[in-house]
Chain A
Amino acid sequence: QKEVEQNSGPLSVPEGAIASLNCTYSDRGSQSFFWYRQYSGKSPELIMFIYSNGDKEDGRFTAQLNKASQYVSLLIRDSQPSDSATYLCAVNRDQTDKLIFGTGTRLQVFP
């Protein structure tokens, strides 16, 4: 079992809809949580990070963290075709600076 789990998808949503991406992690010592977007053959691009339980909003993106359930999610409002990409959840454990990635969820936004 991977330390960070994501549904590989693809998750298909119509343009303008809300896309909901989910991630679970196994190490309760995890401190910080990151969402990266990666287009095919390109590098991961940091979208959001969250450290505390609750919601964090940035434009069309909202990250949600529930440490008790070891669950983090990313909501994308008003989804656009340009949002079509693989979304990587990454976790950083205490006293370490390496990111542990999930396998990513492929999002497809169709017009």
Chain B
Amino acid sequence: AAGVIQSPRHLIKEKRETATLKCYPIPRHDTVYWYQQGPGQDPQFLISFYEKMQSDKGSIPDRFSAQQFSDYHSELNMSSLELGDSALYFCASSLGGTSSYNEQFFGPGTRLTVL
């Protein structure tokens, strides 16, 4: 079965640079979520989108922005990168809009390293 696709899988950036992470949800899934997982920590919710509209927002820095496109893929844009932004970034997708009962399926993640 098709899964969530994320690109790139690994990314190395310098401080103050920008990065763009991409997420392609499972076919027919209309909702995407972004999570950040630091070393030894649990995933932290950043932001979610349903039908191209932001549906929920978590602890996402102002330096980060995201959007969902008409084909439901999503991009997370990160600017003025800091050392503390080094983490695994996961995208998850679900079907059926925003609901507390949606099952979220995670992609393989993008490992971002900021030097």
Chain A residues engaging chain B, CB cutoff 8 angstroms: 31-32, 34, 36, 41-46, 49, 51, 88, 92-104
* With A43-B106, A43-B107, A44-B90 as contacts: A98 and B101 at CB distance below 8 Å: no
Q: Which chain B residues border A100 with CB–CB below 8 Å?
A: 45
Known: A51-B101, A88-B43, A95-B100. 17 other contacts (CB 8 A): A31-B100, A36-B106, A42-B108, A43-B108, A46-B104, A46-B105, A46-B106, A88-B42, A92-B100, A92-B102, A96-B98, A96-B100, A97-B48, A97-B100, A98-B56, A99-B33, A99-B43
Count of inter-chain pairs, beta carbons less than 8 A: 65
| CB of B109 within 8 Å of the partner chain | yes
Min C-beta distance of B3 to chain A, whole Å: 9
Min C-beta distance of A9 to chain B, whole Å: 13
**Contact assessment for B104 and A99 in the assembled complex, using a CB-CB cutoff below 8 Å:** yes
Of the candidates B31, B106, B107, B109, the one whose C-beta lies within 8 Å of that of A97 is: B31
The chain B residue sitting closest to A44, CB to CB, is B106
Chain B 22-72 residues near chain A, CB threshold 8 A:
31, 33, 35, 41-45, 48, 50, 55-56, 58
**Contact assessment for A94 and B42 in the assembled complex, using a CB-CB cutoff below 8 Å:** no
The chain A residue sitting closest to B99, CB to CB, is A97
Q: Which chain A residues border B58 with CB–CB below 8 Å?
A: 98
Of the candidates A42, A44, A94, the one whose C-beta lies within 8 Å of that of B43 is: A44
B87-115 Cβ-contact flags toward A at 8 Å (1 or 0): 01010001000111111111111000000
Min C-beta distance of B34 to chain A, whole Å: 10
The chain A residue sitting closest to B97, CB to CB, is A97
Can you give 26 A-B contacts (C-beta < 8 A)? A31-B100, A36-B106, A42-B109, A43-B106, A43-B108, A43-B109, A44-B43, A44-B90, A46-B103, A46-B104, A51-B101, A88-B42, A88-B43, A92-B100, A92-B102, A93-B100, A95-B100, A96-B56, A96-B98, A96-B100, A97-B33, A97-B48, A97-B102, A99-B35, A100-B45, A104-B42
Cα A102 to Cα B90 with chains together (Å): 16
Of the candidates B41, B45, B103, B106, the one whose C-beta lies within 8 Å of that of A98 is: B45
